[in-house]
Structure 1
């Protein structure tokens, strides 16, 4: 029994040390590659950019679309999770309750897909990046590793793919269309959205002003 406990303690200690080392390392170094990228059959197109070189319109757009309480929570938004569960039980369009911090933890350290084990690891890494990284760093990493198209990762590669220019000068319309497609970049059109997706993008664009007015992106820039 004591032997088993010692083995488990050593395994947890090694896991804890590895976790903290990776979180500390990526608190200042670019993330070179992720499991999602490596498993992508379409290849990888990416270009890491400092947040200084990503237009604020995109930051405001993803907060409006994905996580309006990004600056308020500590990685988990209980209200959003509860609302998502309620809406999913009622039927209709299935939505998630993951914050930008949770999505960043998943994208950087883990793999896509569900399951309680992966969700548990996601919560673990979310806690640590919220503890060690600043909100600005979380946003910077998120916008550099998120899948923005087929075989395309990050804001810069996405901007070049869809609009032919850098992420440093995205208009509110362009940023909103990218943000609208983020949950499913392989199937949602950025260049020519139609129907619900077009209306969703327009709604995000209108909310960009509210994000600025109410300081919902202030933690990224202060």
Structure 2
């Protein structure tokens, strides 16, 4: 029986090896380009929005539509970015993408067997929401770390918080503060007061479980705590640290 010559097999192996060597470089180039473009271009959607829309269609809910409407930071009540920082990442203005102190506290908290607490920064959450998927895996955490580094290196802090309050989920299929303001209170994001912004920030850990419009005891307690933290941070003057 005739056998395939060895030389063509070696040639195919070399080509495959060359391709495998190029793939990481192509990913690096593509991801850098993604982050660079979104420094100036407002994202028309996020990975989490696409996943939620696909989930609805898989379940046969063909009428479901993600609610999302972009607003620039100067068109949003300043209470909203302040509430997000107070609730999610009080060291946001000082860290470079990773808050080691918050991570250590979360590990100690979880080690005591209490309700799991994350140590993700706002920068990490932007990376995850924009580019990745939900769930827990070393691959996703590694990609999240890479995108976080890129975001922190290429975007100013004001751009990071601007994107965050626009793509964060504030209810089932409700993404961004403008969509939340319209859906819950029939108003504009610029008109939200401190109390409503605190309630929106209070649902961020589980926006499909908690309701900012009709808050239960947990959201009320957390929103009150967030407002106290907003005052301790110095109120709206704290946002000047992002410039």
Same fold (TM over 0.5): yes
| Pairs within 5 Å for 1:139-178 | 139-178=161-200
Aligned equivalents of 1:58, 1:212: Cα separation in 2: 14
Instruction: Give the number of aligned pairs.
Output: 221
Aligned partner of 2:98 among 29, 54, 76: 76
Cα 1:109–1:219 shift into 2, 3 Å:
farther
Contact kept, 8 Å, 2:169 with 2:204, in 1: the verdict is: yes
Instruction: From 30, 39, 59, give the equivalent of 1:27.
Output: 39
Distance 2:236 2:100 in 1: 21
Is residue 53–residue 168 contact of structure 1 (8 Å, CA) maintained in 2? Answer: yes
Larger RCO of the pair (alpha carbons < 8 Å, separation 6+)? 1
Pick one of 197, 206, 209 that aligns with 1:184. 206
Structure 1 position 212, deviation (Å): 2.5
CA distance in 1, matches of 2:90, 2:236: 10
Measure the CA separation in 2 of the matches of 1:177 and 1:98. Answer: 20
Cα distance between partner residues in 1 of 2:156 and 2:194: 25
**Structure having the higher Rg:** 2
Does 2:21 match 1:9? yes
**Root-mean-square deviation (CA), in Å?**
1.8
Pairs within 5 Å for 1:202-213: 202-212=224-234
Which has the higher mean CA deviation after the structures are superposed, 136-145 or 209-218? 209-218
Distance 2:212 2:77 in 1: 17
What does residue 6 of structure 2 align with? none
Q: SS where residue 39 of structure 1 aligns?
A: helix
Instruction: Look up the match of 2:112.
Output: 90
Bigger CA drift: 98-107 or 164-173?
164-173
**C-alpha displacement at 1:36, in angstroms?**
1.3
Alignment match of 1:64 (pick from 75, 78, 86): 86
**1:94-124 alpha-carbon deviations (Å, 9 max, x no partner):** 2100000000000011111111100000000
Equivalence for 1:105: 127
Secondary structure of 2:170 counterpart: strand
Partner of 1:38: 50
Closer/same/farther in 2, CA of residues 56 and 213 from structure 1, 3 Å limit: closer
Distance 1:184 1:43 in 2: 20
SS at match of 1:217: helix
Q: CA deviation at 1:160?
A: 1.1
For 1:147-186, what per-residue CA distance to the aligned partner results, in whole angstroms no more than 9, with x for missing partners? Answer: 1111111010011111211111211100000000012111
